[in-house]
């Protein structure tokens, strides 16, 4: 049995969150207790929350539904089935966006999807670290190709935010909002984020890798590594959410959004974005390297740029390295 197969067998056995002795694990995967110990150490080193207690054995910090490509494909909405090419589920990766970007450059088709149980170098905007503990949340990237120039994709990140909200609402998650340009929030705390990375010719065609991170059940051990107010679906309540079903719903919403955006651009999503915009009418601070400006947020323009009213004048600011913070 290959090492990766042994690791998956151990994880599958521990998925119930109960203790399993080293002897039982060894018997289940046909190896020695010493080999099981080495496998567990390797999993711990990659961020899996495996606990070892003398006399009781091994267990995960909590029960986990591991990601499964076949289960995700089976749960795809009907209108997404023909749009999705490959679904790769990785036990651990530096970043699903980085992994899929490399395959995009190698010619991977639109509809390629990558998910990972853990990321060692997950990224948000401006290179910020996205904390990615194993098995706790959802880390997903989708590749899509467009027949026009990257400049025509202005506002796509906002449209993707709307797609994420739609997927979460289907699971009964209420009172979700969007904070320009790419934060998914609930109760004023960050629940998820969006990261788009573009490639291709300046005049077209082009491609985009859409990265999504959603907090589902953040382990206590991860809290100290997060430097901003956050929440997860477990905290919001509403019962357990199937990671595979949520992944399928997100993929379906993203595919539908990309098809719709290719036909109609951001105009097709502007009204929905405004409905979820938590900053509308609020005092905010926009900052970028060496600069900052304060005012009242007035939504977004036709390209997805944020509108800020200050000193009696309303100006638009494009995404770039901008950061928006509510004044309260």
Residues marked as binding for biotin? 95-97, 119, 123-125, 190
54 part of the active site:
no
CA distances from 313 to 140, 270, 307, 324 (A): 40, 22, 10, 18
Nearest CA among 128, 119, 130 for reference residue 96: 119
237: phi then psi, degrees, rounded to nearest 5: 85, -170
Q: What is the DSSP string of 205-232?
A: -EEEEEEEEE-SS--GGGGGG--S-B--
Containing 142, the helix (H) or strand (E) segment is strand 138-146
Q: Active-site residue among 125, 145, 179, 298?
A: 125
- Of 251, 261, 259, the closest CA to residue 86 belongs to 251
> Burial level of 238, CB count in 10 A (0-12/13-18/19+)?
exposed
State yes or no: is 56 an active-site residue: no
Residue that has been written with the tokens 């509108």 in this structure: 307
- The angle formed by the CA atoms of residues 279, 258 and 65, to the nearest 5 degrees, is 80
Binding-site residues, please? Answer: 95-97, 119, 123-125, 190
How far is CA 208 from each of CA 84, 115, 148, 276, rounded to the nearest angstrom? 15, 16, 12, 24
Token representation of residue 184: 């998914």
What tokens appear for 305 in the block?
């740029």
Longest dimension (CA), the chain: 74
Catalytic member of 6, 179, 190, 298: 190
> Is 125 an active-site residue?
yes
Lookup: tokens for 48? 């899996």
Alpha-carbon span 139 to 96, nearest angstrom: 7
Both tokens of residue 220?
A: 């206590």
Q: Any idea which residues carry the catalytic annotation?
A: 125, 190, 325
């Amino acid at each position: 049995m290959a090492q990766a197969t042994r690791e998956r067998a151990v994880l599958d056995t521990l998925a119930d969150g109960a203790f399993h002795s080293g002897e039982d694990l060894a018997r289940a995967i046909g190896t020695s207790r010493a080999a099981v110990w080495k496998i567990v150490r390797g999993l711990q080193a990659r961020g899996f929350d495996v606990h070892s207690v003398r006399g009781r054995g091994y267990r995960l910090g909590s029960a986990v539904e591991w990601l499964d490509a076949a289960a995700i494909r089976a749960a795809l909405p009907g209108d997404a089935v023909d749009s999705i090419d490959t679904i790769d589920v990785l036990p651990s990766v530096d970043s699903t966006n980085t992994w899929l970007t490399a395959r995009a450059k190698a010619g991977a088709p639109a509809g390629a999807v990558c998910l990972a149980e853990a990321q060692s170098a997950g990224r948000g905007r401006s290179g910020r670290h996205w904390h990615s503990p194993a098995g706790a949340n959802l880390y997903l990237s989708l590749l899509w190709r467009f027949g026009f120039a990257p400049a025509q994709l202005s506002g796509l990140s906002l449209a993707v935010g709307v797609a994420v909200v739609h997927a979460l609402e289907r699971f009964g998650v209420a009172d979700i909002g969007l904070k320009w340009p790419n934060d998914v929030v609930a109760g004023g705390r960050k629940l998820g984020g969006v990261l788009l990375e573009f490639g291709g010719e300046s005049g077209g065609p082009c491609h985009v890798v859409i990265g999504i991170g959603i907090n589902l059940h953040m382990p206590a051990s991860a809290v100290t590594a997060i430097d901003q107010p956050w929440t997860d679906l477990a905290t919001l309540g509403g019962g357990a959410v199937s990671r595979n079903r949520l992944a399928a719903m997100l993929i379906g919403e993203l595919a539908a959004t990309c098809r719709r955006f290719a036909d109609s651009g951001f105009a097709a999503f502007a009204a929905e974005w405004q409905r979820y915009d938590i900053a509308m009418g609020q005092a905010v601070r926009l900052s970028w390297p060496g600069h900052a400006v304060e005012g009242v947020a007035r939504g977004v323009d036709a390209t997805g740029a944020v509108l800020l009213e200050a000193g009696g004048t309303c100006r638009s600011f494009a995404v770039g390295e901008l950061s928006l913070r509510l004044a309260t």
